[in-house]
Amino acid sequence: MTTLEIRDLHVSVETKEGPKPILRGVDLTVNSGETHAIMGPNGSGKSTLAYSLAGHPKYQITGGSVLLDGEDVLAMSVDERARAGMFLAMQYPVEVPGVSVSNFLRTAKTAIDGEAPALRSWVKDVRAAMENLRMDSTFAERSVNEGFSGGEKKRHEILQMELLKPRLAILDETDSGLDVDALRIVSEGVNRVRSTTDVGVLLITHYTRILRYITPDFVHVFVDGRIAEEGGPELAERLENEGYDRFLVNS
């Protein structure tokens, strides 16, 4: 059983005028097998939460704690967080020229597991995952994300998730820029991982359309760096009909 505990988390970013608070006291618990949708208007702090959990140096933790099974996440380096089972699918995946997808994936798997996967079974697993995500086999020898379309980059993120099998997956606006077909394929990939592992998922999104494919157990509405409301899937349906205006008026 994996548990992520976020308690009174405060995060700032440095600006010309000095530190600017973004997160203003976030409390959230994610257990194994749970999917939590983080929703909210632009600028509400959703992506800041994702990158703060992953250890991005741009974000300064000014208060609170983050524990993964009792271990202090904030004291871990970025690679230590990954080895502990934390995974981030980025909204804007970066290109890594000169590093093939196949080498990148096997190196990552080796780093997380502490030993290289058996080559024959690994190749089989990679091919099967790529087929499921409708990725041509030639992608394996291309440089990571170089020349990939937006949809191809997002499929590659979910390919990593399927093969690395994290304990906690943070999906930062994975639906952004995807057409209907790509959204369905990516969502099916996430659901495959959910059905075959006990991964906890933080699904960060601005829109409700991805929640038609990935049903969350809990929905949290972010406004001005705080959780303004919490509920089940029905809360997402209400947001679909009403938007975020009522939260912005009261914030």
Query: Which residue segment(s) compose the domain that 236 sits in?
Result: 3-250
3-state secondary structure of 62: strand
In a 13 Å sphere around the CA of 122, the CA atoms on its Cβ side amount to: 18
The C-alpha atoms of residue 187 and residue 191 are separated, in whole angstroms, by 6
- Answer for the pair 221, 244: CB distance below 8 angstroms, yes or no: yes
DSSP string of 180-226, one letter each residue = HHHHHHHHHHHHHHHHHS--EEEEEESSSGGGGTS--SEEEEEETTE
CATH of the domain at 217: 3.40.50.300
Please state the domain count of the chain: 1
Where do the H-state alpha helices sit in the chain? 46-54, 78-83, 101-113, 119-132, 150-164, 180-196, 233-242, 245-250
User: Residue-wise pLDDT tens for the chain (251 aa)?
Assistant: 789 999 999 999 998 988 999 999 999 999 999 999 999 988 899 999 999 999 999 999 999 999 999 999 999 999 999 999 999 998 888 889 999 999 999 999 999 999 999 989 999 999 999 999 999 989 999 999 999 998 899 999 999 999 999 999 999 999 988 999 999 999 999 999 999 999 999 999 988 899 999 999 999 999 999 999 999 999 998 988 888 887 776 55
The C-alpha atoms of residue 228 and residue 220 are separated, in whole angstroms, by 8
User: What is the pLDDT, as a whole number, of residue 242?
Assistant: 85
- Give me the torsion for CA of 49, 51, 53, 55, rounded to 10°: -150
Of all helices (H) and strands (E), which one includes residue 14? strand 3-15
